[in-house]
């Protein structure tokens, strides 16, 4: 699903419950992407999470509600899959260092 579709869905029912459902659906998308892309390494999984994090950030911008945190997907992943967070953060930190 595209960020714009998530935004339309949320705007139709702008509640905390709907926001959690959007984040959960994106997390479920990660599982589908992992299977579709045959992602077997941590780096491949982190790339998928980065992609979905970008989608979530686009969703937030499209919704235009300043109370929704841009890092909401990252926080949601941290709550639901705590074991992934350290590696994902390290992966992004490495990418930033290479970009400099």
For residue 86, what pLDDT band results from cuts at 50, 70 and 90?
confident
Would the pLDDT of 100 be above 80?
A: no
Mean pLDDT on 52-73:
97
For residue 52, what pLDDT band results from cuts at 50, 70 and 90?
very high
pLDDT of residue 22: 97
The domain segmentation of the chain, as residue ranges, is 3-99
pTM, rounded to two decimals: 0.88
What single string gives the DSSP state of each residue in 14-48?
-SHHHHHHHHHHHHHHHHHHHHHTT--SHHHHHHH
pLDDT of residue 96: 80
């Amino acid at each position: 699903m595209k960020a714009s579709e998530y935004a339309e869905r949320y705007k139709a029912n702008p509640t905390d419950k709907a926001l959690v459902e959007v984040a959960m659906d994106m997390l479920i998308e990660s599982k589908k992407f992992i299977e579709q892309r045959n992602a077997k390494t941590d780096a491949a999984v982190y790339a998928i999470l980065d992609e979905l994090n970008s989608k979530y950030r686009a969703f937030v911008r499209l919704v235009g509600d300043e109370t929704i945190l841009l890092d909401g997907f990252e926080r949601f992943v941290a709550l639901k899959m705590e074991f992934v967070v350290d590696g994902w953060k390290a992966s992004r930190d490495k990418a930033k260092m290479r970009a400099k």
